[in-house]
Amino acid sequence: HREQVGSDFDALIAADQRIEPRDAMPDEYRQTLIRQIAQHAHSEIIGMQPEGNWITRAPSLRRKAILIAKVQDEAGHGLYLYSAAETLGVDRAELLDRLHEGKQKYSSIFNYPTLTWADCGAIGWLVDGAAIMNQVPLCRCSYGPYARAMIRVCKEESFHQRQGFEILWNLMRGTEAQQAMAQDAADRWWWPALMMFGPPDSGEAAKGGHTAQSMAWGIKRFSNDDLRQKFVDMMVPQAEKLGIVLPDPQLRWNAERGHYDFGPIDWDEFWRVLRGDGACNAERITQRRRAHEEGAWVREAANAHAAKQAAKQKE
Ligand code: ACO
């Protein structure tokens, strides 16, 4: 039976066909997807916090309405992703427990603070920009439910990125203080955004990484470094349009490579943040646990309602 599972699965992957929940799949493939989709879902819901921090202080009613909608979108993305993970045979309650116990990761980027309003612009422009770069290829992921969830997520992320760009665009056309605020936000978010793509493809940091296997399975379509390079190439002209100087003196066009060269990334900082030692790790998890506990009555009410409906149908 195991051999049959292997050959059907391999044939589907070789033909670049989608694997669906009903299909047999190797356990390692299933576990890799659960790990990645859960981490992705956790990132979406933890990612509500940095910007949620500014909802009460958005500078106008229009900005407040946009920000509320955006933060709600992130919650929605979390829900699609937990649902996609559930098709692999895990329970979302269990995944949330693993997040709350620190046993599953969420993106490093959400452990940085949002100090000024311009940070909402920088998150939209840089963080959502990086998210799109990473997630558009996931629309072609070999696992059907994940790939389909990504289509809508990417459409919404594109809107988020435009709204971030527009916040910074307006600040850069404002007073000197507003321009300085936008520049400062870009200075603080640029390097962490580059780290979002994950550790480099080669060297010590790449050991134990998942990229080669995930690419062979059609989960990842590009390596971390390739996506990071695409992101830099996309962002440099946008920064020039904005009038923002990216905080990297080594950033320059390399005509031979046809790409921008950029300076070294501080991977020690990345691993420190992953170990829990970033500026906001403790705050993010405490807030998440509190939200979960405060939401217990909603889950109980939903379960009671579902049980009542099920009983009615039996009658
Ligand atoms: N933050 C936290 N952990 C990370 C990050 C990051 N930015 N990048 C890599 N890691 C972790 C990996 O989870 C892995 O840890 P694990 O073995 O304990 O699970 C380890 O670092 C090694 O990395 P890789 O071998 O590159 O891992 P992987 O193949 O899973 O690639 C990546 C990482 C690119 C993030 C991939 O999981 C992915 O594309 N995920 C979907 C997108 C996503 O999660 N986005 C979240 C942020 S965007 C947003 O929410 C708006």
Strand 259-261 relative to strand 252-254, pairing:
antiparallel
What pLDDT sits at residue 314?
87
What is the structure's pLDDT at 308? 96
Q: What is the mean pLDDT of residues 221-235?
A: 98
The CA-CA-CA angle for residues 200, 46, 188, to 5°, reads 55
Q: What is the pLDDT of residue 12?
A: 95
CA of 35 to the centre of ligand 1 (A): 9
Residue 3 tokens, joined = 């051999």
The pLDDT score that the predictor gives to residue 206 is 76
pLDDT at 5: 63
Residue ID of nearest Cα to ligand 1 atom 36: 36
What residues have CB less than 8 Å from 175, skipping those under 6 apart? none
51-60 mean pLDDT: 97
Of 110, 86, 109, 108, nearest to 96 by C-alpha is 86
Copy the structure tokens of residue 310: 């099920």
pLDDT at 275: 96
Mean pLDDT of 192-218: 92
Residue 2 has a pLDDT of: 55
Neighbours of 179 (CB within 10 A): 17
Render pLDDT for 105-141 as a digit per residue (tens, 0 to 9): 999 999 999 999 999 999 999 999 999 999 999 999 9
Pocket mutation for ligand 1, best pick of 36, 74, 136, 227 (most atoms within 8 Å of C-beta): 36
pLDDT in tens, 144-197: 999 999 999 999 999 999 999 999 999 999 999 999 999 999 999 999 999 999
pLDDT of 7 reads 81
Q: Is the minimum distance from the CB of 199 to ligand 1 under 6 angstroms?
A: yes
The 10s digit of each residue's pLDDT in 250-268 is: 999 999 999 999 999 999 9
Q: Work out which ligand 1 atom sits closest to the CA atom of 108.
A: 1
ipTM of the complex: 0.98
Q: What is the pLDDT of residue 1?
A: 56
Supply the pLDDT for residue 4: 62
- Is residue 60 scored above 90 in pLDDT? yes
Expressed in angstroms and rounded, the spacing between residue 306 Cα and the centre of ligand 1 is: 35
Inform me whether the pLDDT recorded for 226 exceeds 80.
yes
Cα–Cα dist 209/211, whole Å: 6
Instruction: For residue 3, name the pLDDT band (cuts at 50, 70, 90).
Output: low
What are φ and ψ of residue 103, in 5° steps? -90, -15
Q: Is 218 in the pocket of ligand 1 (CB under 6 A)?
A: no
Question: Which H, E and C letters describe the chain, residue by residue?
Answer: CHHHHHHHHHHHHHCCCCECCCCCCCHHHHHHHHHHHHHHHHHHHHCHHHHHCCHHHCCCHHHHHHHHHHHHHHHHHHHHHHHHHHCCCCCHHHHHHHHHCCCCCCCHHHHCCCCCCHHHHHHHHHHHHHHHHHHCHHHHCCEHHHHHHHHHHHHHHHHHHHHHHHHHHHHHCCCHHHHHHHHHHHHHHHHHHHHCCCCCCCCHHHCCCCHHHHHHCCCCCCCHHHHHHHHHHHHHHHHHHHCCCCCCCCCEEECCCCEEECCCCCHHHHHHHHHHHCCCHHHHHHHHHHHHHHCHHHHHHHHHHHHHHHHHHHC
Does any ligand 1 atom lie closer than 6 A to the CB of residue 98? no
Nearest CA to ligand 1 atom 20: 209
